[in-house]
Amino acid sequence: MNSSLFLSQLLNGLQLGVLLFLLSSGLTLIFGIMNFINLAHGSLYMVGAFVGAATYNASGSFLFSLVAAVASAAIVGLVVEHLVARPLYRHDHLYQVLATFGLMMFFNELAIVIWGNRPYFVTIPEVIRGSVQILGASYPIYRLLIIAVGVVVAFGAWYLIQKTRFGMLVRAGTTHASMVSVLGANVDLLKKSLFMLGAALAGLAGTLAGPILSVQSGMGDPVLILALVVIVVGGIGSIRGALFAAILIAVIDTLGRAYLPGLLALVLAPTAANTVGSALASMLIYLLMAFVLAFRPHGLMVSAKR
Amino acid sequence: MTFNKWTRLSLPVLFILLAAIPFVAQATDEPFYVTFFARVLVYALAACALNIVLGFAGLVSFGHAMFIGLGAYAVGILGHYGISNGWIQLAACIAVCIVVAVMVGAVCLRTSGIGFIMITLAFSQMLYFLMVSLTPFGGDDGLNIYESSDFGLFTLSGSSEVYWATWALLLVLALFLNRLRTSPFGMVLQATHINPRRVNAFGYSVFRVQLSAYVLSGVITGLAGFLLANLTAFAVPSYIAWHVSGELIVMIVIGGIGLVTGPIFGAIIFLLLEEVLKGWTEHWMLIMGPIIVLIALAGRNQFAWLKVLFNRPSSAHAAIEAQPAGETR
Amino acid sequence: MTAPSLTVDGLVRYFGGLKATDEVTLQVRPGELHAIIGPNGAGKTTLINLLTGELASDGGRILIGDVDVTGQPIQQRVQRGLLRSYQITSVFDSFTVRENICLAARRKRGVRMAVWKPLVRDSETMEVARRIMAECQLQHVADEAAANLAYGQRRQLEIAMALAADPRLLLLDEPMAGMSAAEGAAAIELLRSLKGQYTIVLVEHDMNAVFSLADRISVLVYGKVIATGTADEIRNHPDVRKAYLGDDEDA
């Protein structure tokens, strides 16, 4: 086993984990606090990716495209919150699932209408192109940037939730939403801000992912499902859980895809190893999810006593 | 109008009209009608099966397409190995669906509400990716099915055969669901949605009752997949796409959750709408998406409304008041 | 059906740092009506939840008859005839009174493969339902949805369901909560008629009911049993008076 290859795979996993974390943290907060299941979160990710890519291609400025992506995702998030989420907060999750499913369909088709069916090409910004040497492996700076962004956001989220008044209201809102409103906080504003925050994070993840993954209609779907697995494993409502689970799942997924066929080749014939290996690798995280749920139905970070 | 009255009225009318379709198609020389409505009935079957857990127990399974896939691939994979005997394929389909439903259900039912929705979705995705990566079975392109399921007395060789088989199965299912609703098992199942704690307090096991319902639902959905494979002569991963699961839910909501004939009406309306929109524009999803959003917004009080239908007229008000907010379980 | 004894031995339950149930020890004799009283927050409902198994205990034992049921899930305890009613009415709102009671009545037979014949048309179930509805004065609302009933009737239904399920050991959590004087009096008579048939643990605030029905009374304060005895013994117990009336030192 090549150690520098292993290291770069590990870093790939870490980087994917960060993207997943950005997506899942918003998702888990929205579920945990507003009890709202938002399947359109993947669409917000896609909005960030498209807007980020389009503005970068048009302006050449990475910073500008970043801001545009995050802002547009936040704005779309605000509109979604007001028109679709708000009427459905108190209602059965079924309708939330249905409505956001309809939104997903709409946004995916809208992307095709605006940008066509083929992947929309965007390159890694000039300013952060190139690689750097880490412990013998050559690793792209851009991917390291993503990891760095993840660390900053994780710290920022921790600070926001634990140390600010907004965070306090959010934490109180998870367990006692009605009390929070009785205490005078504008709950509607709180919910809108939270929704927009989640959307902004999704948009950030989307625009960062753009140059590495392909930007196209439906790109949010598989990532959304991964994010759902992450928050189920990590525990609904827990950001710490989302961080831990996102990295765990991304690393296992990446390493699994990279090494499982090879490992199986030790015991199976090459073609069988390849088939079974890639099949198993694609199922790996779901098996992990099932395993976790078998023992901790409420996720890893949330303790539930009977 | 009470539940019973509506079912007693709509069920025979519906099935007589549906039975007329192949004859109408023959008269107007439009075999397409049969193919189209065969597809409608297949999805209606799947939607009715989903209604067992969704309508009765309030379990929003977002992964039922998984069972359609299992049924379809039972036909496809066995056919791939030269086995086109319908009975063997059917046995395999049912066996696999039972095993998968028990395993998946046992895990999913440990979580509540949101968790259940997400995990059922995740498992169906797992199957989707599995089938995509299994290149011996066609991978992304799936399997061609060259020989229809042969049951000895008949074969599911054409749209017509599939149509009648599905029609018959659907009729049996509808009649069964009507009885199930007032049966002891059915009542306890509905009770698990109304007040799970109390159900356990009477010594019933919410888990076991819901799991049994989930398995039953899964097997019948698998039969729908079986029929679909025969209709299209394909078994493809796209049958397992989560859009399919979502569409089944849309059909149920359109037609009326928990109503016996509801999902059938829902399937007809939804798929007809889809055909019409496809005729207008290739970007029909741009219109269908917001329509689904509107259906969700319009139907959000449906659970309460439905409890009104379940009961005698005098209970209308109180039933709506008694509806707990936002609870899936 | 013989009414079993109920033995509670050193039962403990923590909520975080709070010892909600503090080494509770009780012995309820077969066929006895044993009342549990205590000021609010004493942990009476917690105790009931521990006895049914809806709450897991952190220590101690529970025996029904001479069977140790500690740690058993609620369904297994129900099989031994343990049934409860809830302080906050917990019926099936969208079902009719008849359907609610039939569902309760069916608990012994179970519903395994029963997918065809209507629940309410089964002769055995119908007979039980008819009898219970008559006992609990609910015949005239038999086909009303439970959600439609007046509050007092809902409380009646609450008890009726526990009775319909063929109990041997009944745990009643404030069955008379919120009842009018007339309804309360009827409920007392109903419970009086049940004495001896079942072993009953009655949690109540209504002292009328407690002192007229109970064979023995236990007093729960801050999760601890401070006294157990007959109505007279409890009435005159110094610790009990202090708990209810308080004294200057506590204020």
* Facing residue for A99 by CB, picked from B111, B119, B293: B293
What's the confidence (pLDDT) of residue A174? 57
CATH architecture label of A3-295: Orthogonal Bundle (1.10)
Query: Rounded distance, CA B103 to CA B119, Å?
Result: 12
C-alpha to C-alpha distance for A253 and A263, rounded to whole angstroms: 15
| 8 A C-beta contact, residue A37 and residue A96 | yes
- What pLDDT is stored for residue A259 in this prediction? 87
pLDDT of residue B329: 31
Mean residue pLDDT of chain B comes to 88
User: How far apart are the CA of C184 and the nearest CA of chain B, in angstroms?
Assistant: 24
| Residues of chain B contacting residue C166, judged by C-beta atoms under 8 Å apart | none
- Res B101 pLDDT > 90: yes
Q: Which of C60, C55, C49, C52 is nearest to C83 (CA)?
A: C52
Which residues, 6 or more positions from A126, have their beta carbon under 8 angstroms from its beta carbon? A62
Q: What is the mean pLDDT of residues B10-34?
A: 91
pLDDT tens, residue order, chain A (306 aa):
577 788 888 888 998 999 999 999 888 888 877 888 899 999 999 999 999 999 998 988 888 999 999 999 999 999 999 999 999 988 888 899 999 999 999 999 999 999 988 888 888 777 777 887 777 677 888 888 888 888 898 888 878 877 888 888 777 765 666 777 777 767 788 888 889 999 999 999 999 998 888 899 999 998 998 898 898 888 877 888 889 999 999 999 999 888 888 888 888 888 778 888 888 888 888 888 888 887 877 777 665 444
**Whether C74 and B179 lie within 8 Å, measured CB to CB:** no
Looking at A273-282, B57-66, C74-83, C216-225, which range is the least confident one?
A273-282
Nearest by CB to A113, which of B114, B121, B286?
Answer: B286
With a CB cutoff of 8 Å and minimum separation 6, the contacts of B45 are: B166, B169, B170, B173, B220, B221, B223, B224, B227
Written in H, E and C, the secondary structure of B166-192 is HHHHHHHHHHHHHHHHHCHHHHHHHHH
Nearest chain A residue to B130, by CA: A279
Contact C55, C84 (CB under 8 A): no
For residue A225, the chain B residues in CB contact (below 8 A) are: 121-122, 125, 242
Q: Which phi and psi (to 5°) does residue A90 adopt?
A: -85, 5
- Residue B319 scores a pLDDT above 70: no
Binding partners of C (≥3 Cβ pairs within 8 A): A, B
Structure tokens at C172: 């009643």
Q: Which chain A residues touch C55 with a CB distance below 8 Å?
A: 306
Interface test with B, best of A24, A93, A292 (most B CBs within 10 A): A93
pLDDT of B314 > 50? The answer is: no
CB contact under 8 A, B183 and C79: no
Could you tell me the residue ranges of all domains in chain A?
3-295
Tokens of B145: 């099915």
CA distance A4 to chain B (A): 28
Kindly give, in sequence order, each residue whose CB lies less than 8 Å from that of residue A58, ignoring residues fewer than 6 positions away: none
Mutating which of C45, C52, C115, C132 best tests the B interface, going by the most B Cβ atoms within 10 A? Answer: C115
- Gap from B25 CA to chain A (nearest CA, Å): 33
SS3 assignment, position C115: coil
Question: Which backbone phi and psi does C152 adopt, to 5 degrees?
Answer: -60, -40
**All domains of chain B, ordered by start, with CATH?**
3-322 (1.10.3470)
Residue A277's pLDDT is what?
82
Give the separation between CA C243 and CA C251, rounded to whole angstroms: 11
Question: Which residues does B270 contact at the CB level (< 8 Å), separation at least 6?
Answer: B247, B250, B251, B254
Tell me how far apart the alpha carbons of residues B311 and B4 are, in angstroms, rounded to a whole number. Answer: 10
At C251, is the pLDDT very low, low, confident or very high (cuts 50, 70, 90)?
Answer: very low
pLDDT for the residue numbered C106? 92
The alpha carbon torsion through A139, A140, A144, A149 (nearest 10 deg) reads -170
Give the tens place of pLDDT for each residue, C174-222.
998 888 888 889 899 999 999 888 999 999 988 888 999 999 999 999 9
Cα–Cα distance between A38 and A25 in angstroms, integer?
13
Structure letter (DSSP) for residue A61? -
CB contact under 8 A, B185 and C111: yes
Asked if B162 and B156 count as a contact pair (C-beta separation under 8 A), the reply is yes
Q: Are A31 and A237 in contact (CB under 8 A)?
A: yes
Domain boundaries, chain C: 6-81+167-245, 92-153
Q: What pLDDT was estimated at residue B325? A: 38
Please indicate whether, in this complex, the C-beta atoms of C75 and B203 are within 8 angstroms of each other: yes
Interior angle at CA A249, CA A246 and CA A250, nearest 5: 80
Which two three-digit tokens encode residue B250? 């849309």
- Name the interface residues of C facing B (CB cutoff 8 Å): 52, 54, 74-75, 78-79, 83-84, 86, 90-96, 99, 102-104, 106-107, 110-120, 122, 143-145, 147-148, 161, 165
Those residues with Cβ within 8 angstroms of residue A232's Cβ, 6 or more apart along the chain or in another chain: A289, A293, A299, B111, B115, B118, B119, B122
Q: How far apart are CA A26 and CA A34, in angstroms?
A: 11
- Split at pLDDT 50, 70, 90, the class of B303 is low
Q: Looking at B67-81, B280-294, C103-117, which range is the least confident one?
A: C103-117
What ipTM was reported for this prediction?
A: 0.89
CA distance C58 to C50: 10
DSSP assigned state of C68? E
Residue of chain B whose Cα is closest to the Cα of C161: B202
For residue B313, pLDDT over 50 is answered with no
If you count residue pairs, one on B and one on C, with CB atoms under 8 Å apart, how many are there?
Answer: 119
**Nearest Cα residue in chain B from C145:** B315
Residue type, B240: I
**In the prediction, which pLDDT does B213 show?**
96
Give the residue from chain A lying closest to B104, CA to CA: A290
Question: Each residue of C28-43: b (16+ CB within 10 Å) or e?
Answer: beebbbbbbbbeeebb
Categorize the per-residue pLDDT at B1 as very low, low, confident or very high, splitting at 50, 70 and 90. Answer: low
Residues from chain B contacting residue A277 (CB–CB below 8 Å): none
- Which residue among C78, C90, C119 sits closest to B184, beta carbon to beta carbon? C119
Q: Are A301 and A236 in contact (CB under 8 A)?
A: no
DSSP per-residue string spanning C40-60: TTSSHHHHHHHHHTSS--SEE
Cβ-defined contact of C118 to B209 (cutoff 8 Å): no
Q: Tokens 């058993």 identify what position?
A: C72
Give C27 or A167, the one with higher predicted confidence: C27
**In this model, does residue B112 exceed pLDDT 80?**
no
Q: What is the pLDDT of residue A270?
A: 80
Contact in structure between B145 and B235 (CB atoms under 8 Å): yes
Global pTM reads: 0.89
- Band of pLDDT at residue B2, cut at 50, 70 and 90: low
At residue B183, the pLDDT reads: 94
What does each C-alpha distance from C236 to C26, C230, C231 come to in angstroms?
A: 20, 10, 9
- Say how far apart CA A138 and CA A117 lie, in whole Å: 34
CATH of domain C6-81+167-245: 3.40.50.300
Question: Mutation test of the interface with chain B: which of C51, C64, C79, C111, choosing the one with the most B Cβ atoms within 10 A?
Answer: C111
- C-alpha dihedral, B58 to C158 to B110 to C48, nearest 10°: 160
> Which range is least confidently modeled, A156-160, B37-41, B86-90, C231-235?
A156-160
Spatial CB neighbours of B166, under 8 Å, sequence gap ≥ 6: B38, B41, B42, B45, B224, B227
b (16+ CB within 10 A) / e for B267-303 = bbebbebeeebeeeeeebbbbbbbbbbebbbebbebb
